[in-house]
């Protein structure tokens, strides 16, 4: 295996400077990794892509960051367009870290080639679109250089509060065993805003052979969160059931979302009359050790006026339920609630003590009454700048691992176990068509 030619320009004589390479950045997550300046990254970055709207959208987002006031960035993209951008990137070797966020079909094979060519790879989810991708995922996680997901959930302050609360036995107790102990539901929208501007999705986003179907897309986040909550890095999840179903996308909505005049020929297998059947929704039930988890995700066309994506998750404990919700009821903010099941007064005392002990790490976090025997654990806005800020934190965390040259054994094992589960779920969902309401 050839080692990559890493630039060793030093930042303040202590932090190695990395040069980023972006390969076919067809998803806005690629641009969000550049939302803020990075002390470990050179301002000049190299983009290898096919000519087209996706490339232009990526460059436009980067330019918005450069022109933003206050705190503009200073990125200098150097663009190479090619019919074979992967070959050009590998051949020219102008950097050491590749960011992948675009078409998911074929991503696992691309990652493996980059890995075997000596590049570190930070890749958006999902890595796996079909079960046969699993062997390439396994190879990319087999050792140095580093491959990791753009997985933002563990940088979210509200999710971190849930993790802390579950970890206090006097508050949560233990996971219950009389049904799903972790329940996660989320609703996403095909129309949305990114950095305040309408998002244009490429047409291939609606091709499950390219984007991935419901069981392998959003559930990557749900399973990762469940693994985190149960400290399941060393326990492989076991699938109990999986189902998938479609969202109907009329041609008018497709035009609005993609800018395309009509459905491309490639989507013909999924078109029925004047609408497309997008198999993007799923429900998975699985176990991590003795803990049963259920994850359900669905996609709607557009949010209600003033609305947005919504999510609802509950960790069911023997002493209390911990609920994380983002919906119209929470003004579309992610809010955490503790709902005692037994000994409400004792749970409340333990909660008050825990919140007091967290002040050094989470200044301003407070316990707020939120109804009969229910409490909100509220974090001030300054502790978390929102979902779009998490991508740059993922990049920084990834580069720190590279600089420390430490192989993340637990992370690699957890990622492989997750995709093994999702590969099985995708295969089972094909044989278990959705019938009726699963809730």
pLDDT of amino acid 439: 29
pLDDT of amino acid 1: 34
Contact 275, 262 (CB under 8 A): no
User: Mean pLDDT over all residues of the chain?
Assistant: 92
Q: Map out the domains of the chain as residue ranges.
A: 10-150, 154-387
pLDDT of amino acid 432: 64
Give per-residue pLDDT as tens, 224-256: 999 999 987 788 999 999 999 999 999 999 999
Give per-residue pLDDT as tens, 22-76: 999 988 899 999 999 999 999 999 999 999 999 999 999 999 999 999 999 999 9
Residue with tokens 């459905």: 263
pLDDT of amino acid 11: 38
Length of the chain: 439
Indicate the pLDDT class of residue 424, thresholds 50, 70 and 90: very high
pLDDT at 272 over 80: yes
- Rounded average pLDDT over 375-385: 90
Give per-residue pLDDT as tens, 306-345: 778 899 999 999 999 999 999 988 988 899 999 999 999 9
- Higher pLDDT among residues 5 and 270, named by residue: 270
Give per-residue pLDDT as tens, 78-114: 999 999 999 999 999 999 999 999 999 999 999 999 9
- Rounded average pLDDT over 345-351: 98
157-166, 188-197, 363-372: which has the minimum mean pLDDT?
Answer: 188-197
Indicate the pLDDT class of residue 436, thresholds 50, 70 and 90: very low
Contact 95, 7 (CB under 8 A): yes
Relative to beta strand 291-300, strand 147-150 is unpaired
pLDDT of amino acid 383: 87
Distance CA(334)–CA(161), nearest Å, equals: 11
Pick the CATH number of 154-387 from 3.30.70, 3.30.360, 2.40.160, 2.40.128: 3.30.360
Residue with tokens 């998911």: 104
In percent, the amount of the chain with pLDDT more than 70 equals: 95
Task: Kindly report the CATH class assigned to 10-150.
Answer: alpha beta
Give per-residue pLDDT as tens, 170-219: 999 999 999 999 999 999 999 987 777 888 899 999 999 999 999 999 99
Residue 268 CB-density burial (10 A; 0-12 exposed, 13-18 middle, 19+ buried): exposed
Distance CA(311)–CA(303), nearest Å, equals: 13
pLDDT of amino acid 15: 63
pLDDT at 437 over 90: no
pTM: 0.89
pLDDT of amino acid 56: 95
Q: Is the dihedral of CA 159, 161, 162, 167 positive or negative?
A: positive
């Amino acid at each position: 295996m050839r080692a990559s030619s890493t630039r060793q320009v030093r930042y303040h004589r202590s932090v190695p400077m990395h040069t980023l390479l972006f390969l076919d950045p067809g998803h806005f997550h690629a641009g969000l990794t550049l939302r803020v300046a990075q002390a470990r990254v050179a301002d000049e970055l190299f983009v290898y892509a096919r000519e087209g709207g996706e490339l232009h959208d990526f460059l436009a987002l980067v330019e918005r960051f450069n022109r933003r006031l206050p705190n503009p960035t200073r990125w200098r993209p150097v663009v190479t367009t090619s019919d074979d951008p992967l070959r050009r990137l590998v051949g020219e070797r102008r950097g050491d870290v590749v960011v992948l966020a675009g078409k998911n079909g074929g991503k696992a094979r691309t990652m493996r080639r980059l890995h075997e060519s000596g590049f570190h790879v930070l890749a958006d989810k999902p890595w796996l679109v079909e079960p046969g991708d699993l062997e390439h995922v396994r190879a990319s996680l087999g050792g140095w250089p580093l491959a990791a997901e753009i997985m933002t959930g563990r940088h979210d302050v509200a999710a971190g509060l849930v993790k802390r609360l579950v970890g206090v036995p006097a508050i949560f107790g233990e996971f219950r065993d009389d049904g799903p102990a972790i329940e996660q539901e989320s609703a996403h929208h095909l129309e949305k805003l990114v950095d305040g501007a309408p998002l244009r999705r490429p047409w291939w986003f609606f091709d499950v052979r390219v984007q991935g179907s419901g069981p392998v897309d959003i559930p990557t986040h749900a399973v990762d969160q469940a693994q985190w909550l149960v400290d399941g890095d060393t326990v492989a999840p076991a699938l109990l059931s999986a189902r998938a179903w479609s969202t109907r996308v009329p041609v008018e909505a497709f035009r609005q979302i993609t800018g395309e005049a009509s459905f491309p020929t490639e989507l013909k297998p999924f078109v029925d009359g004047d609408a497309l059947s997008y198999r993007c929704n799923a429900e998975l039930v699985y176990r991590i050790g003795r803990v049963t988890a259920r994850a359900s995700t669905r996609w709607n066309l557009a949010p209600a006026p003033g609305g947005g994506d919504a999510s609802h998750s509950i960790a069911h404990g023997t002493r209390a339920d911990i609920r994380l919700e983002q919906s119209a009821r929470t003004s579309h903010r992610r809010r955490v609630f503790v709902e005692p099941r037994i000994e409400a007064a004792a749970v409340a005392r333990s909660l008050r003590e825990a919140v007091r002990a967290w002040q050094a790490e989470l200044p301003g976090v407070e316990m707020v009454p939120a109804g009969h025997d229910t409490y909100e654990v509220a974090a001030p806005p300054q502790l978390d700048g929102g979902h779009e800020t998490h991508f740059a934190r993922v990049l920084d965390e990834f580069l720190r691992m590279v600089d420390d040259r430490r192989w993340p054994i637990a992370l690699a094992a957890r990622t492989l176990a997750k995709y093994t589960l999702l590969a099985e779920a995708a295969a089972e969902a094909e044989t278990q068509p959705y019938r009726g309401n699963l809730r």
